[in-house]
Amino acid sequence: MAVTFGVDVGGTFTDLVIFDGQSVSGRKVPTTSPEDRGVTTALEDQPSDTSIFLHGTTVATNQLLQGNGARVALVTTSGFEDVVEIGRQARPSLYDSFDDRPLPLVPRERRIGYSGDIDAVIDALGATAPDVVAVALVRSYEDPAEERRIADAVRSRLSVPVSVGADVSPPFREFERVATTVLNAYLTPTVSGYLDALDQTLPMESKMVMTSAGALAQFAAGAEAAGRLVLSGPAAGVVAAAELGRAKGFDSVISFDMGGTSTDVCRVDGIASGGAVHKIGGRVNRVPSKAVHTVGAGGGSIAWADAGGALRVGPRSAGADPGPAAYGIGGTEATITDANLLLGAIPKVLLLGGQVELDADAAHVAIDRLGLTLGLSAEATAAGIIEVVDNHMERALRAVSVEEGADPRESVLVAFGGAGGLHASRLARSLGMRTILVPPLSGVFSALGLLLARPSADLSRTVLLAEGSDRLSAAASELLESARVRFSREHGETPESSAVIAETRYVGQSHELAVPLEAGWTELRRSFEQAHHSRFGFVRPDQPVELINIRVEVSGPPPLTWDMLPRLTNATEPVATTTEMLIGDSYRDVDVWQRADLPSGFGCDGPAVVVERDSAVRLEDGDRLTVHDDGTLEIAT
C-alpha cells in the first residue's frame, strides 16, 4: 500500500502526518520562508514516487492579506464596471464612519465594459497589460456561452490566464459573482506557480491540495481555482473534527484549533460545506467553504500594553523565529506560551517536539518586563494574558454558535492544535458545554484531517424554481451527472458518494438557507422550515418557498477513515509526576500524565496536566478525564 503524507503549513509550524497502511505518526517542524521550505523540511528523507501527498497551504491566504497579488483586469457587462466597488449596502461598522471596505483588487482604469464587441475588449485589455484577466458578465448565470467566448479570445490573443465567472462562482448576484472572480484572478499566478513548483519538486505519484470546502483537489484543479484555497489549512482541521464527532456519535461539533499564530473555530452540524458569502480581510469570496471564524490568538501571539495602559494580546505573533521567549532562540516579547509556562499549565520539563527544552527563566523575564509597564506582578500579568486571550476565543466560539441561532451546549467541543488543550476546559465552561474531545495526534490534527478528507468535485447552478415545479428532479439530476463527469476527469475514478444541497427561501426573502435535497418538494419544504426555525425562531406555513440554487458534491473514498486508526495497547498502570500550577492565588502541586502512557479506560480528575510531544492538555478543578480506546481524551467539565 502506498504511503500517504499529509502536510499542513501553518504560520508558526508545518505539521506532518504519515500513514503507511498500518500505523499513523506525526511531527512538527518550524515554518520558514519561502513557504515551501516547511514542506521539504517536513518530508526530509520521506518521499517516494509511489506515495501520495496531501497539502494544506496558507499561500492563498497570505497573498490576499499581504495585498501583493497579480495585476488584474476585469471584463464585465457594460454599465456594471463599478459594481465591484459599489458592493452592498452593509457597512463594515455601523457606528465607525472611518471603518471602510478595502479598495477593489482591480482599479477603475482596468475595468472594461463589454457590449458585444470582443475586438474592442481585446484592444482595451492590451493597453492595460494585465497579468491575469477576470471575465464575469452580469447575466451569464443564465447562459455562460458569451462569457466563455470572451475568455477563449483573451487566452488565444493575449496569452494570459483567465478566470471565468461561470467556473469560479456560477450562481447569480452580480456583486458577489464579479468580486469572487476578481479575487480568484488576483491569486491565480502565485498559487499556480507555488503548486507547479511543488509538483515538480516532489516525486509523489499523486498530489492533492485541500480546498476551503474541506475537499481534496488535484494540484492542476487547485491552481485553476486559487480562490478556493483561501481556507485550505483550517478546513482540514474542521474535516478531522467532524470525523471524530461522527465516530463518537455527536451530531453537532464545534472545532477549536489553537495553533501558534491564530485560532480557528467552526461549527459543523451535518450540512455540506456552504456556498454562502464569506469574507477574508474584508473581501468577498463566494465559494464552497467551511464557515471558519479566525482570530489572531495563538501560542505565539504577543502580549502588549496599548497607549491607555490596557493589556492587549495579538494579533502580532512571534512566529517560529524567534518564537516565544520560552523557546530560547532569541524571542524577548511575552506571549501566550510564556504565560502558560509561567502559570504551570505547560510543565517546565516538557520537551517541545520531543527535543527542545523550554526556557522558563526567559519566559519569566519577558512576562515580568511587560508587567512592569502594567504595574502588575509577573504572575498577575500572565493570568491577565490568559484571561484576555480566552475572552477573544470565547467571542469567536459565540460567533459560530449563539450568533447563528445555535446553542453551544448542544455541541461537543473538539480541541486541538498545539495550544487548544490548554484553554479548552475554561472556554467550554464559559459556554456551558459539558463535553470536550481532545483527539489523538492533537498537535498535528489538521494534517491528519488531510488524510480523512475525500477527493471531490462540486458544481452549483441557479435554477429559480417555484414550489411545486416539475423541473426539480431533472435539474438536480443534470447537475449531479455533470459533477460525476468532472470528478472522473480530474481524479481518474468513479465517485462513490454524492450530496445535493438546495439553497431555498420563502418567496420575498433575499437570502437562502442550504438544506439537503433528498426527495421532492414536500420533504424539501420540511427540511427548509426546520432549518429556518432553528436559525430564526419562526416559520411561515402559508408562504410558498422557492429553490434558488442547487449545489452538488460527489466524492471518492478518503485515504484514511477513523476506524483505521490504531487502538491503544498499553496495559501497565501509568505513573504521574508533578508540577506547580497557579490555581487561584497560589501554586499547587498537580499531577502530570504522559499521554503516550495512558491506557484505554484510564481516568483521572483535575486539576492536572496531560502532555504529549507537540501539545498539552490542562484539566481544571472538577474536570473528569476518560481515555478512549483510540486514544481520544474525553473531558467532562
What does the pLDDT read at residue 45? 67
Which of 346-360, 453-467, 587-601 has the weakest average pLDDT?
346-360
Q: Convert the pLDDT of each residue in 505-563 to its tens digit.
A: 999 998 899 999 988 999 999 999 999 998 888 999 999 999 999 999 999 999 999 99
List pLDDT tens digits, range 86-113.
Answer: 988 777 777 887 878 889 999 999 999 9
The residue with greater pLDDT, 498 or 61, is 498
pLDDT band at 47 (very low <50, low <70, confident <90, very high): low
Give me the mean pLDDT over the 38-64 stretch: 79
Distance CA 46, CA 16 (A): 11
Let me know: does 296 contact 354? Beta carbons within 8 Å.
no
Q: Are 268 and 253 in contact (CB under 8 A)?
A: yes
pLDDT at residue 271 above 60? no
Helix ranges restricted to H, 400-520: 420-431, 445-452, 472-491
Residues forming beta bridges with residue 514, ordered by sequence position? 503
More confident residue, 491 or 277: 491
Greater pLDDT, 42 or 495: 495
- Rounded distance between C-alpha atoms, residue 171 and residue 149, angstroms: 19
Alpha-carbon distance of 422 to 438, in angstroms, equals 11
* Most confident among 28-37, 126-135, 402-411 (mean pLDDT): 126-135
Four-residue CA torsion sign, 374, 378, 384, 388? positive
Q: Provide the pLDDT for residue 273.
A: 46
CATH tag for 454-557 (out of 3.30.1490, 3.40.50, 3.30.450, 3.30.70): 3.30.1490
Domain coordinates in residue numbering, the chain: 68-184, 301-392, 454-557, 577-636
Number of CB atoms found within 10 A of residue 127's CB: 12
User: pLDDT for 482-493, tens place per residue?
Assistant: 999 999 999 999
Query: In whole angstroms, what is the distance from residue 505 CA to residue 525 CA?
Result: 9
What does the alpha-carbon distance between residue 324 and residue 260 come to, in Å, rounded to a whole number? Answer: 10
**In this predicted model, what pLDDT tens digit does every residue of 314-344 receive, in sequence order?**
888 887 778 899 988 889 999 999 999 999 9
C-alpha grid cell for residue 287? 465559494
Q: Helix, strand, coil % (nearest 5) of the chain?
A: 35, 25, 40
pLDDT of residue 355: 61
- Confidence class of residue 20 from pLDDT cuts 50, 70 and 90? confident
209-245 pLDDT, tens digit per residue, is 999 999 999 999 998 999 999 999 899 999 999 999 9
Give the tens place of pLDDT for each residue, 194-219.
Answer: 999 999 988 888 999 999 999 999 99
- Average of per-residue pLDDT values in the chain: 91
Identify the DSSP state of 417.
S
CA distances for 386 relative to 273, 322, 338, angstroms: 33, 21, 10
Task: Give me the mean pLDDT over the 14-21 stretch.
Answer: 88
**Position 43, amino acid:** L
Top pLDDT among 281 and 497 is at: 497
Report the C-alpha gap between 494 and 268 in whole angstroms. Answer: 27
Is residue 42 pLDDT above 90, yes or no?
Answer: no
For residue 136, the model assigns a pLDDT of 97
pLDDT confidence band for 571 (50 / 70 / 90): confident
Q: In what order do the strands lie in the sheet with 586-594?
A: 577-583, 586-594, 608-611, 616-619
Quick one: pLDDT at residue 67? 85
pLDDT of residue 272: 45
Q: Is 68 exposed, middle or buried (0-12, 13-18, 19+ CB in 10 A)?
A: exposed
Is this structure's pTM higher than 0.75?
A: yes
**Peptide bond between residue 315 and the one before it cis (omega within 30 degrees of 0):** yes
Q: What is the pLDDT, as a whole number, of residue 35? A: 54
- Cα–Cα separations (whole angstroms), residue 130 to 99, 154, 344: 30, 11, 55
pLDDT at 37 over 60: no
CB 172 within 8 A of CB 462: yes
